[in-house]
């Protein structure tokens, strides 16, 4: 029995510890380089840190409004308009949350009845199934297949046609695969939402970290603006993952529903950090695009290096992460066994992608490993040098 399970409600028992905590702890204990958890090892723009510091000095230290400071709601609305041509009223159609994580939880709690199904693509970001469980909802998984992480349209159609299907949860750009859903795939998703009267929820936290292709919010497709809850956050875009400033954009009745759940989870989030992210969202286009240019070079460094060490690499089009198949490098080992051995043997931590698949399917993703490349170049070089000793 895992720690705490004696007391934990049954619906949360499968979710006691996250693999990220386990692997980060291993990194600390062994002194290994942590390419497991997706956080950058350098801070975001000094200018934004200064805004936060000045806000604290300037007295922004009490509860801000429950739906977020006006500056951030206005900045989010302007961002959606300027980048995607989507109009949202900052008063009624934007809600600030404690990271995208709270937005996802509040959305499922607000919109799902017990037993409702949430259609989501597998591998899935780890909070989705846990949040569905909190809402007493049921994940309905649609598999993405390497090397391009495409899905079978018939499988998606069947999932959406289920009489209990309520939400389609779409994460693009996608963690862990780095996939950017294509216009055609988004079109299929939108048509199914319309056909089966599903609400869509999108997780777009990597929207500004796209290297190949372009990010298209599902809400921009015809008919989708009023049935989509769009979620994003400032953590990944600005390299401030510890700030946890996120937001929801949707039609007013949907935002009102999500706000009803959110107000009793946290009520509101850190005012000074909201003001700093508001400033960041107003950065000129070239500056925001520059973050992805820097990260693309890191993607290439890590992917080329892993490839030359014999790994089969699925080069991501976006995000912080690359996926490899380890079968050729570590024959006979599962990704889990490989990742547990790696810190001791090479001094590097990575995450077995099997944790992003349904635990009831032990074969899925069995030899896939996820690597974070949002690290300094010297750390990536060092990690590759260390990994060369695996074969030895």
336 backbone dihedrals φ, ψ, rounded to 5°: -60, -50
324 DSSP β-pair partners:
313, 369
For position 38 contacting ligand PLP by CB under 6 A, the verdict is yes
Do the beta carbons of residue 303 and residue 315 sit within 8 Å? yes
Direct distance between the N- and C-terminal alpha carbons of the chain, in angstroms, rounded to an integer? 37
Show the site string, 167-206: x = touches ligand PLP by CB under 6 A, - = not: ----x---x---------------------------x-x-
Show the site string, 111-150: x = touches ligand PLP by CB under 6 A, - = not: --------------x-------------------------
Q: Which residues contact 330 (CB under 8 A, 6 or more apart)?
A: 338, 390
Cβ distance to ligand PLP smaller for residue 246 or 316 = 246
* Nearest distance in Å: CB 161, ligand PLP: 26
Cβ distance to ligand PLP smaller for residue 179 or 330 = 179
CA distance linking residue 385 with residue 141, whole number of Å: 38
CA 111 from chain center: how many Å? Answer: 20
Show the site string, 246-285: x = touches ligand PLP by CB under 6 A, - = not: x---------------------------------------
* Nearest distance in Å: CB 170, ligand PLP: 11
How long, in residues, is the chain? 392
* Nearest distance in Å: CB 75, ligand PLP: 16
Identify which range of 62-70, 94-102, 180-188, 208-216 contacts ligand PLP by CB under 6 A: 94-102
Q: Which of 177, 230, 241, 367 binds ligand PLP (CB under 6 A)?
A: 241
* Nearest distance in Å: CB 236, ligand PLP: 7
**Assigned token pair, 298:** 């890191």
Contacts 24+ apart (CB under 8 A), 72-77: 72/96, 72/245, 72/247, 72/274, 72/275, 72/277, 72/278, 72/281, 73/247, 74/278, 75/277, 75/278, 75/279, 75/281, 75/282, 76/247, 76/249, 76/281, 77/249
* Nearest distance in Å: CB 344, ligand PLP: 26
Cβ distance to ligand PLP smaller for residue 34 or 101 = 101
Sole residue written with tokens 């809600």: 95
Q: Which of 24, 80, 101, 172 binds ligand PLP (CB under 6 A)?
A: 101
Cβ distance to ligand PLP smaller for residue 80 or 233 = 233
CA distance linking residue 165 with residue 140, whole number of Å: 8
Question: What DSSP state is assigned to residue 62?
Answer: S
Give the footprint of ligand PLP on this chain (CB under 6 A): 38, 99-101, 125, 171, 175, 203, 205, 233, 235, 241, 244, 246
């Amino acid at each position: 029995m895992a720690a705490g399970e004696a007391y934990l409600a049954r619906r949360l028992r499968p979710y006691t510890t996250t693999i990220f905590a386990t692997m980060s702890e291993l990194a600390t204990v062994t002194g290994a380089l942590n390419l497991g958890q997706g956080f950058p090892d350098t801070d975001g723009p000094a200018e934004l840190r200064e805004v936060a510091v000045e806000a604290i000095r300037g007295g922004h230290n009490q509860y801000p409004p429950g739906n977020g400071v006006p500056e951030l709601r206005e900045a989010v609305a302007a961002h959606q308009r300027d980048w995607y041509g989507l109009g949202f009223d900052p008063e009624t159609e934007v809600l600030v949350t404690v990271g995208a994580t709270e937005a996802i939880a509040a959305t499922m709690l607000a919109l799902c009845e017990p037993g409702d199904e949430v259609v989501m693509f597998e591998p899935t970001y780890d909070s989705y199934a846990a949040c569905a469980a909190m809402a007493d909802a049921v994940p309905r998984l649609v598999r993405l297949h390497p090397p391009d992480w495409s899905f079978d349209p018939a499988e998606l159609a069947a999932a959406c046609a289920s009489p209990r299907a309520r939400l389609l949860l779409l994460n693009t750009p996608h963690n862990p695969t780095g996939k950017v859903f294509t216009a055609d795939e988004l079109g299929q998703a939108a048509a199914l939402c319309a056909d089966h009267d599903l609400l869509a929820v999108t997780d777009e936290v990597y929207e500004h970290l796209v290297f190949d292709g372009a990010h298209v919010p599902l809400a921009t497709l015809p008919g989708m603006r009023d049935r989509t809850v769009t979620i994003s956050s400032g953590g990944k875009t600005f390299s401030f993952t510890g700030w946890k400033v996120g937001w929801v954009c949707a039609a007013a009745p949907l935002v009102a529903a999500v706000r009803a759940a959110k107000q009793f989870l946290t009520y509101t989030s850190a005012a000074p950090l909201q003001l700093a992210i508001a400033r960041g969202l107003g950065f000129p286009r070239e500056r925001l695009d520059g973050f992805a240019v820097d990260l693309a070079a890191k993607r290439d460094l890590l992917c080329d290096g892993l490839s030359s060490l014999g790994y089969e690499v699925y080069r991501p089009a976006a995000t912080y992460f690359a996926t490899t198949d380890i079968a050729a490098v570590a024959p006979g080992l599962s990704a889990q066994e490989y990742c547990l051995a790696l810190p001791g043997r090479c001094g590097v931590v990575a995450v077995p992608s099997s944790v992003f698949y349904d635990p009831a399917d032990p074969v899925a993703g069995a030899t896939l490993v996820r690597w974070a490349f949002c690290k300094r170049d010297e750390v990536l070089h060092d990690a590759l040098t260390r990994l060369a000793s695996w074969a030895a």
